């Protein structure tokens, strides 16, 4: 993140936190004042921030030893990848009242993200699947959620500032113009904006100081967009957490697709109606503004470069559940996206499609 955006980030936060709950605002004040006391070079203030974050985390968790601070390795990297820390943080997050405004861990996430330290922000994003997952599933249960909301709003505000609120668009290619990959009879037109066919990947962002219930899906969706943009740096465990929550969100087991071998077309239970199970607990509304970033993340988990078996298994289960849900909702966007992902993942797992074309033909004969 650039220096500019981190400054505007600072100016942006007070509204966010004040409207959320006062306790978070206090802690922000503390961190910012810490900034002012140590006007050091960026690198040392960065390690200072990291140490501060670890110190305050160690007061929340039981097993983070302060000895961590003296270790040679990058402490932020350690925070991101240490399985003990992850499992402890995850289990703390999953406690029933963890989303409250005065929750220590939520406050830690909020402060850590606000430190504007890219490495530390990654640590916060690593737990976004659990935070967003629990948050959306708990909305209907009327549990206190101000803590989760503060973290999500901080991420949303970060994204809003770094994009200056602008929509993310792509120019849908037009084959009648030549490109680096193909020729065309029509000459390359020079910059003619009128000819661009713009498509929106992510609409423009309005600043939000609180979570309005109708904007909830969008705010979480934008946070997931940021997660997606950093997903190649995320440990596998975080992605698996995400896939697990997709299943919970869908409220669908996705069994009915399992026995089907030759295609993933519309499929029914194999003559057993009881097998169909809708799990209402944790099931949420899945509008496209949420499903679109979800599909992008799932696409990465299923077909991306990390060929981790557990992840792929978990991602395809999530995809089956979401496909099944989209069939039930008769939601064309979601049907088309999840259906193609499922088909692609099946093809990727099919050994027939994994022939190595670069293999040198084996022969006992050497020809010169």
Chain positions 120 to 179 lying near another protein, rule: CB under 8 A, are: 139-140, 167, 169-175, 177-179
Nearest approach in angstroms of CB 182 to another protein is 5
What are the tokens at 206? 């309005």
CB 72 within 8 A of CB 110: no
Task: Report 72-91 residues binding another protein (CB under 8 A).
Answer: none
The smaller minimum CB distance to another protein, of residues 147 and 293, is found at 293
* Segment contacting another protein by CB under 8 A, of 30-38, 87-95, 144-152, 199-207: 199-207
The mark string for 315-334 relative to another protein (x by CB under 8 A, - otherwise) is ------------xx-x-xx-
Nearest approach in angstroms of CB 316 to another protein is 14
φ, ψ at 168 (rounded to 5°): -95, 120
The smaller minimum CB distance to another protein, of residues 131 and 312, is found at 312
- Site residue total, another protein (CB under 8 A): 90
The smaller minimum CB distance to another protein, of residues 35 and 77, is found at 77
Task: Report 213-252 residues binding another protein (CB under 8 A).
Answer: 213-218, 228-229, 231-232, 251
Out of 51, 81, 163, 283, the only residue in the binding site for another protein (CB under 8 A) is: 283
Of 319, 347, 303, residue with least CA distance to 257: 319
Q: Quickly list H helices, 267-359.
A: 288-303, 309-329, 332-349
CB 246 within 8 A of CB 298: yes
* Segment contacting another protein by CB under 8 A, of 10-18, 57-65, 84-92, 264-272: 264-272
Out of 78, 235, 287, 308, the only residue in the binding site for another protein (CB under 8 A) is: 287
Of 69, 122, 61, residue with least CA distance to 90: 61
Asked if 38 is part of the footprint of another protein (rule: CB under 8 A), the reply reads no
Q: What kind and span of H or E run contains 238?
A: helix 236-250
The smaller minimum CB distance to another protein, of residues 53 and 157, is found at 157
The smaller minimum CB distance to another protein, of residues 37 and 273, is found at 273
Between CA 211 and CA 152 the distance in angstroms is 9
What letter does residue 252 receive in the DSSP assignment? Answer: B
Please enumerate in sequence order all residues whose Cβ is within 8 A of that of 328, keeping only pairs 6 or more positions apart, or say none. 252
Task: Report 179-198 residues binding another protein (CB under 8 A).
Answer: 179-182, 188-194, 196, 198
The mark string for 333-352 relative to another protein (x by CB under 8 A, - otherwise) is x-xxx-xxx-xx--x-----
Instruction: Name residue 169's beta-bridge partners.
Output: 200
Nearest approach in angstroms of CB 283 to another protein is 6
Between CA 278 and CA 247 the distance in angstroms is 11
The smaller minimum CB distance to another protein, of residues 92 and 335, is found at 335
Asked if 354 is part of the footprint of another protein (rule: CB under 8 A), the reply reads no
Q: Quickly list H helices, 1-96.
A: 3-20, 22-37, 42-58, 75-81, 83-93
Between CA 208 and CA 217 the distance in angstroms is 13
Out of 4, 97, 268, 310, the only residue in the binding site for another protein (CB under 8 A) is: 268
Between CA 67 and CA 49 the distance in angstroms is 17
The smaller minimum CB distance to another protein, of residues 51 and 343, is found at 343
Nearest approach in angstroms of CB 43 to another protein is 25
Nearest approach in angstroms of CB 241 to another protein is 17
Out of 249, 299, 311, 323, the only residue in the binding site for another protein (CB under 8 A) is: 299
What are the tokens at 118? 């890219």
Nearest approach in angstroms of CB 59 to another protein is 34
Buried b (16+ CB within 10 A) or exposed e, 29-58: eebeeebeeeeeeeeebbbbbbebbbebbb
Nearest approach in angstroms of CB 65 to another protein is 31
CB 213 within 8 A of CB 155: no
Asked if 2 is part of the footprint of another protein (rule: CB under 8 A), the reply reads no
Instruction: Name residue 199's beta-bridge partners.
Output: 170
């Amino acid at each position: 993140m650039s220096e500019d955006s981190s400054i505007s980030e600072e100016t942006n936060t007070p509204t966010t936190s004040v409207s959320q709950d006062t306790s978070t605002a206090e802690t922000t004040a503390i961190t910012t004042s810490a900034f002012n006391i140590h006007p050091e070079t960026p690198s040392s203030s960065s390690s200072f921030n990291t140490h501060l974050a670890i110190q305050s985390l160690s007061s929340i968790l039981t097993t983070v030893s302060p000895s961590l601070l003296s270790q040679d390795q990058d402490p932020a990297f350690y925070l991101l990848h240490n399985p003990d820390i992850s499992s402890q943080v995850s289990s703390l997050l999953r406690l029933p009242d963890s989303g409250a405004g005065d929750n220590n861990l939520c406050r830690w996430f909020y402060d850590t993200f606000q430190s504007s330290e890219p490495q530390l922000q990654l640590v916060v994003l690593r737990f976004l699947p659990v935070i967003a997952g629990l948050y959306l599933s708990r909305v209907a249960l009327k549990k206190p959620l101000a803590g989760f909301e503060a973290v999500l709003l901080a991420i949303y505000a970060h994204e809003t500032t770094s994009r200056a609120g602008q929509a993310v668009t792509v120019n849908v290619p037009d084959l009648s113009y030549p490109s680096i990959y193909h020729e065309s009879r029509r000459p390359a037109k020079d910059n003619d904006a009128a000819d661009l066919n713009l498509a929106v990947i992510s609409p423009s962002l309005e600043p939000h100081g609180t979570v309005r219930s109708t904007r909830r899906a969008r705010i979480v969706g934008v946070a997931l967009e940021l997660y997606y943009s950093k997903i190649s740096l995320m440990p596998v465990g975080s992605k698996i957490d995400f896939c697990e929550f997709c299943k919970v969100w869908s409220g669908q087991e996705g069994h009915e697709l399992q026995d089907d071998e030759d295609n993933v077309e519309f499929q029914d239970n194999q003559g057993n109606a009881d097998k169909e199970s809708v799990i209402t607990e944790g099931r949420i509304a899945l509008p496209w503004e949420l499903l679109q970033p979800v599909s992008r993340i799932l696409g990465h988990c299923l077909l991306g470069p990390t060929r981790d078996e557990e992840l792929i298994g978990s991602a395809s289960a999530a995809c089956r559940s979401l496909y099944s849900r989209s069939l039930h909702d008769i939601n064309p966007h979601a049907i088309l996206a999840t259906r193609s992902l499922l088909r692609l993942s099946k093809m990727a797992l099919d050994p027939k499609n994994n022939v190595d074309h670069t293999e040198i033909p084996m022969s006992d004969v050497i020809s010169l």
